Every structure is written in C-alpha cells, then in structure tokens.
Amino acid sequence: MAIDLFSGAGGLSLGFEMAGFDVVSAVEYDPVHAATHLYNFPLTDILCRDVARIDRSDLLKSAAKGWAKHNPDAGKWDGTVDVIIGGPSCQGFSAMGKRDVDDERNKLIGEFVRLVEQVKPKAFVMENVPGILSAQYEALLGDALARFRAAGYVLADHSRPLDAADYGVPQRRKRVVFIGVLGAIDAPVPPAPTHDEPVTVADAFAGLPSLVGREGYEGDLFELNDEQLRIYTETTNAYLCSLREYDRKNFAHPRPVNPRVLTGSRVTEHKAASIARFAGVEEGRVEPISRAWRLSTGAPSRTLRAGTGRERGAFSASRPLHPKEPRVITVREAARLHSFPDWFRFHTTNWHGHRQIGNAVPPLLARAVGEAVLSALGIDPRHSNQKRIDGGDAKLLELTPTSAAERLSASTDEVPRARRRVSIGVVPRSSTEDSLAG
C-alpha cells in the first residue's frame, strides 16, 4: 500500500496503482486538485492540507481509513506502509522559472523527508525536475539525501534523469526520481527503459474524433455519433492497449467507462485571425505571434507545461497546436499525450484541467518506477486483489477553489489563496483564451 504526498490530480497515484499498489491516502493542498483526485480514486482517503502542517499521526489515521475502504472484509490494518511517494513542488527548481535557491517551495523537500523519517515506510519515491541536480541546490539536496541515509534508507542511483518517452509516454519529459529502500542489502535499481522506439502523437491521438466546428461553450463532454463511436472503439495500437487493458503490467482497479462520451473535450475558442494563422503552421513549427508550437504526428510531444496556481498569479502555460486542426489541444488530447487513460477525468474547465495534467507525473513512467519498487521489496502483485471502482461524484470536477475547500473540509489558512496579477504585458484570460496558445 502507498501514501501519495503532493498528489495533485493523481499521476503518481495512478501509475503506482497500475504497478500493483493500493494508494490508501493522498495529501494535496490545492482543493481543486484534491477534489479531482477524490473523484478518480474514491477509495483513497484525501487530506486537503498543507503538508507542512501534518505529522505521522495524521498520515496513519488517513491511511487506516483508505486501507479499510480498499479491504472492507480484511480486519484491522497492521500499520505497515510499503511506500511513500510524492513530487514536492518543482517550480523552485524548474528551468522555466527563476531557479531561486531561496524559493519557499524548495522547503517542501524537507517536509517530504520529515514525513518519511516519522512514518518509516519500507520504501520511498521522490520525484522532481532535472534542475534539482544543479549546483546551486547541492547543499539542499545533499542534506535531504543525508537524512534519508541516516534514517536507514539505501538509495538508488539518481544521476540520470528519466525521460518519460523511454517508458512508452508520447511526450519528452525528463524527471529525476529518488528511490530509497529501508535497510536494503543492495541498492535498489532504477527502472530500465521499456521502449527503444518512441510512441508518437499519432499513436496517442488514434481514434479520437475531429473537433472542427465545436466551440468551447459546449462543455467538456462530447457524445460520439455512431460513426465516431465505431472508429473510437475499433481503433487500437500498442499504446492504447497499455492504457485500456488490465494485464500483467496493469493492475489498476477497473473503472466504469461509457465509450460514447468523451470527457475533457472542451475546445478553446479562438478568434478568426488566430485560426487563420494556426492553419498555416506546419507540423513541428512555431506560430510566430502566439509562439504556439504545432505537434508533429510522427514524434512525441514536447513537455507539456502547467502554468502557475492562483497563489502564484494563475498564469497559463503555452498549449501546443493540434497537428491537423487550427486550434490548441483539448484536455483529453493532453491527457493522451501524458498517458492518462480515457476513463480518467479532470476538472471541467480548460485552465484547471491542463494545469492538472502539466503538474502530473505521466502514469506510465510512474508505473515503471512502481514496478522497480515492487522488485526491490520482493512483492509480487496479484490481479485477484483488483476491485471494480464505481464512478465518483461528477460534481467534484466542477467545484471552484472555495467550494472545493468547503466540500473537503479544508482549513482556510492552509489552502492556496488567490494572488492578484500585476505583471506588465500579460494578457488577461478571456473567453477566447487566445493567450493560452502562447
């Protein structure tokens, strides 16, 4: 069983579930993300809390609740935690940011270490951007690793960032993964690449319908007509099978699926002039005004970005252009590029949905890491443990930050507060969202 700190919408959670773990508890201080996690993982107990304000007791109480939901007939939990996983906020280390050594978010690594020290799981996994290996963070990272070792953890080699594209994700996305096993005789081994040839955008978008003529006001649910449904259900490839099928590599709990309704399909409304410009951009090229880049069907996507939360000004990251249509991609298309299966849902607004994906660890990369942890612990997952999970409450995906905080009983002094944007030259978000393309 696993506990996910800094869970976001659940990329790490899903990957570890696919590997064979039950994620019994998740901690996420953003109420919108926490509500989305609860929708997709209704058996997981969610703590919408600031991780700096929780301790061992809080985590174990939450884990006990989640364990009971996963194992209603198994009696009392023995208190053993197999693994704590999490990706402390990476913006302080990101090459896309300022790389500020004194960024408050960098301290979250210390909070992750503290909870591992207190709970003493059999293993831990901490994920972050390659920038964390930069020279200016040597002291901060060195202190964290020294504390892990002092607590009895043997660490895997973390010198080589893992590229999601090497693990079947149709996106170039590099991450540093720290794996530690308590009292191990030999150092755990990072996951070896699973794919020699990259999965492409064409593989990811296979079977999805054209959305030309669909406007943003029509919502995020798209009902397929008979011909679209036929193409959607009959189209398959190795990548889609890795997301849809439950086999020796996918131990995720089955979720209900309505193949006729495609979620995350709200199309951004662009001005006519923008549409005309987008139509003239070749695959792999950048549109010079918006600086939006067009996806190439024969290659993986570039790294999808998240932008910032409302406590950091709510700035939106650039969204790539669809490889064939004159628009930026939808949330569902972004999810396909990130290796989320089609049953996984995100917040119904484009802004929150894309941010949730951009912040997430790609599930297929997370699954490979989870399999490496299972191997190090000598655990053999079993399909007999799978339970079909009913769909969550769809209203969770429509909540505002305020209503989500109320729904999750989050303390107002722990959740992120909106910060007014006062940046010169920044175009405010509007109904057209053209600024989101670049």
Domains of the chain plus CATH, in order, are: 2-195+361-396 (3.40.50.150)
Averaged pLDDT, 388-394 = 86
The model's pTM is 0.91
Q: Would you state the pLDDT for residue 8?
A: 96
Least Cα distance to 263 among 355, 345, 340, 360 occurs for 345
Angle between helices 108-119 and 138-150 (to 10 degrees): 0
Q: Would you state the pLDDT for residue 425?
A: 35
Q: Would you state the pLDDT for residue 306?
A: 74
**Tokens, residue 428:** 């405010």
Are the CB atoms for 214 and 222 separated by under 8 Å?
yes
Averaged pLDDT, 185-212 = 96
Distance CA 278, CA 265 (A): 19
90 belongs to the catalytic site: yes
Q: Would you state the pLDDT for residue 216?
A: 66
- What is the 3-state secondary structure of the chain? CEEEECCCCCHHHHHHHHHCCCEEEEECCCHHHHHHHHHHCCCCEEECCCHHHCCHHHHHHHHHHHHHHHCCCCCCCCCCCCEEEECCCCCCCCCCCCCCCCCHHHHHHHHHHHHHHHHCCCEEEEEECHHHHCHHHHHHHHHHHHHHHHCCEEECCCCCCEEHHHHCCCECCEEEEEEEEECCCCCCCCCCCCCCCCCCHHHHHCCCCCCCCCCHHHCCCEECCHHHHHHHHHCCCHHHHHHHCCCCCCCCCCCCCCCCEECCCCCCCCCHHHHHHHHCCCCCCECCCCCCEECCCCCCECCCCCCCCHHHCCCCCCCCECCCCCCECCHHHHHHHHCCCCCCCCCCCHHHHHHHHHHCCCHHHHHHHHHHHHHHHCCCCCHHHCCCCCCCCHHHHCCCHHHHHHHCCCCCCCCCCCCCCCCCCCCCCCCCCHHHHC
pLDDT above 90 covers a percentage of the chain that reads 76
Are the CB atoms for 124 and 179 separated by under 8 Å?
yes
pLDDT at 437 over 50: no
**Tokens, residue 385:** 């443990």
Distance CA 358, CA 306 (A): 4
Catalytic residue among 26, 90, 176, 204: 90
User: pLDDT for 293-328, tens place per residue?
Assistant: 999 999 999 999 875 545 444 456 689 999 999 999
Are the CB atoms for 249 and 383 separated by under 8 Å?
no
Averaged pLDDT, 377-383 = 86
pLDDT at 148 over 60: yes
pLDDT at 54 over 50: yes
At residue 420 the predicted structure's pLDDT band, cuts being 50, 70 and 90, is low
**Tokens, residue 256:** 């209900």
Q: Output the CA torsion 229→234→240→244 (10° steps).
A: 80
pLDDT at 430 over 60: no
**Tokens, residue 313:** 């000004």
**Across all residues in the chain, what is the average pLDDT?**
88
